[in-house]
Amino acid sequence: MSDDNLEMRSRPADWEVAHRYGERVHILDNVYLLSALARIGSPHVAHRDLMALLRSVYQHMLTTACGRELPRVSISVPSRMAAAHNHRGNYKGPMFDPDTSIVVVDIIRAGIVPSQVCFELLTAVLSEQCVRLDHLTMARQSDEHGHVIGVDLSGSKIGGRVDGAIMILPDPMGATGKTTIRALKHYLKSFGKPKKIIALPMIATPEYSRAVLEELEDIVIYTARLDRGMSEPEVLATIPGTYWDREKGLDEKSYIVPGAGGMGEVINNSWC
């Protein structure tokens, strides 16, 4: 990336955080989201509160990402006031292109609730004939020391091809990027090439962004928080991405620091 582009990303719009990861990464600048994520990551949060917060985080992330990434058209739609004011009662302006095809990908387990939230929001404003929800059963593979060594794709429910569609991946934790890469390569190999891929990790590490961007050319990343807590203090003092190769958000077992713990287990209350 050129120095001019780096500088441009260091002067963000008012809705995103300054960084030097490039044009395909968007870190949302929203104190509500940061407050919600702090509560979600707390060991003292009640499960019912965590679930409500998780839904609210994904409602905001989806509306922000789709408002910027989905194609739009100018349209005229009658309102209830059209009965009294004829054509003056029509809304005339931009809306999502009703012919847009969208595939939401649920990566089980942590992605179950976020993907359902995204699917329901999208079917409320687009034809349900154009929005699909797929399910992938994926799991981390770890060695005997607990280190993540890969991703297992043991089963899935995929509704068909994705050629020309916009794919949305609301997987909460953007840690190593292996899950995202494995899922999308599965689609690219067997189900066609989407028009665009929107990744929606609520928390992402520098390692995640680097891995995903290097492997997938048509992907954009929207995240509510960047976690690079394992970086050296002098690196943390700089604009994110300045020393990307020295930034670290993962511990020795590939968990995000500070992160939110094992969200798959937390969401599903796996300890009961």
Whether 215 is in a domain gets the answer: yes
Whether 116 is in a domain gets the answer: yes
Q: What is the rounded average pLDDT of the residues 51-62?
A: 98
Are the C-beta atoms of 113 and 267 separated by less than 8 Å?
yes
User: CB-based burial of residue 201 (10 Å sphere; 0-12 exposed, 13-18 middle, 19+ buried)?
Assistant: buried
> Is pLDDT above 60 for 119?
yes
Q: Among 1-15, 50-64, 163-177, 204-218, where is mean pLDDT lowest? A: 1-15
Whether 272 is in a domain gets the answer: no
Whether 92 is in a domain gets the answer: no
Question: CA–CA separation, 50 vs 119, rounded Å?
Answer: 20
Whether 171 is in a domain gets the answer: yes
Residue 163 has a CB neighbour count (10 Å cut-off) of 11
Percent of the chain with pLDDT over 70: 92
CATH of the domain at 173: 3.40.50.2020
**Residue 189: band (very low, low, confident or very high) from pLDDT cuts 50, 70, 90:** very high
Q: What is the rounded average pLDDT of the residues 170-179?
A: 94
Q: What is the rounded average pLDDT of the residues 96-123?
A: 95
* Domain of residue 107, residue span: 3-72+100-267
Q: What is the rounded average pLDDT of the residues 156-169?
A: 95
Q: What is the pLDDT of residue 71?
A: 97
> Is pLDDT above 80 for 7?
no
Whether 139 is in a domain gets the answer: yes
Q: What is the rounded average pLDDT of the residues 248-272?
A: 89
> Is pLDDT above 70 for 242?
yes
Whether 221 is in a domain gets the answer: yes
The string of DSSP codes covering 203-257 is EE-HHHHHHHHHH-TTEEEEESEE--TTS-HHHHTS-TTTTGGG---B-TTS-BS
Whether 128 is in a domain gets the answer: yes
Q: What is the pLDDT of residue 8?
A: 45
**Residue 140: band (very low, low, confident or very high) from pLDDT cuts 50, 70, 90:** low
Considering the entire predicted model, what is its pTM? 0.90
Count of structural domains, the chain = 1
User: CB-based burial of residue 196 (10 Å sphere; 0-12 exposed, 13-18 middle, 19+ buried)?
Assistant: middle
Q: What is the pLDDT of residue 144?
A: 82
Per-chain mean pLDDT for the chain: 92
